Amino acid sequence: MDFKQLTKEDITKLFRDLDADFLKKGDTITVTLLGGVAALIQGYIERATQDIDVAPVQNCYEFKQACSQKKVKVDIVTVASVASYDERDTLQVFKGKALTVRSVDHENLIKLKLERFVEQDRSDIINIIEVTKFSYSDFKTTVQEALLDYVGREGMYVISAAIIVEDQYPEHIKDFENTFPQFIN
């Protein structure tokens, strides 16, 4: 494999190939997906991705090494402060005989994408909201929960969230501003 762009089909094939490789070696591997690949594999977005972002938990280093041998770039994301990688906040998206792939759920995807909020994150969040029919109330609660653990410039996080509110929930912008007056106005 030598991919510049990974589609959902490419990723699924990669997981099957890695499962066979790990099985031959007698390894049992679990990894948790983040970012664009998590949104792609769950069907929230249709665009391809250039790499696979994984949480710094479970067997992430073994997974990264195996992907590297197949010329697939894996980034172990260690700077995220808002996501939960707990099993109750993740979904199993692939289960082989030796490889289990989990993914953060849609709420944690939104939290992570608001934290980074570059390039395609805005459109990815909008797609997640539309596919899951994520309500304004749930979105606001997600932002409030994220701020409890957020390490960084909280104002930028809230402003990123306000941009999403303007796009997806324009009738609630005043409520959002009133909820976070210290960051907006």
169, two tokens = 């929930």
* Percent of all residues in the chain with a pLDDT value above 70, rounded to a whole number: 97
Instruction: Kindly report the pTM of this predicted structure.
Output: 0.90
SS3 59: coil
Residue 1 has pLDDT above 60, yes or no: no
* pLDDT tops 80 at residue 82: no
CB 103 within 8 A of CB 33: yes
Q: In what order do the strands lie in the sheet with 74-76?
A: 74-76, 52-54, 29-34, 99-104, 90-95
Give 95-131 pLDDT, tens digit per residue.
999 999 999 999 999 999 999 898 899 999 999 999 9
Percent of the chain past pLDDT 90, that is, above it, reads 77
The model's confidence at residue 183, banded by pLDDT at 50, 70 and 90, is confident
- DSSP letters along 68-94, please? HHTT--EEE-----S---SGGGEEEEE
- State yes or no: pLDDT of 3 exceeds 60: no
* Amino acid 149: pLDDT: 82
* 52, two tokens: 């696979």
Half-sphere exposure of 58 (CA within 13 A, CB side): 22
Helix (H, G, I), strand (E, B) or coil at 98: coil
CA 128, 129, 131, 137 dihedral sign is: positive
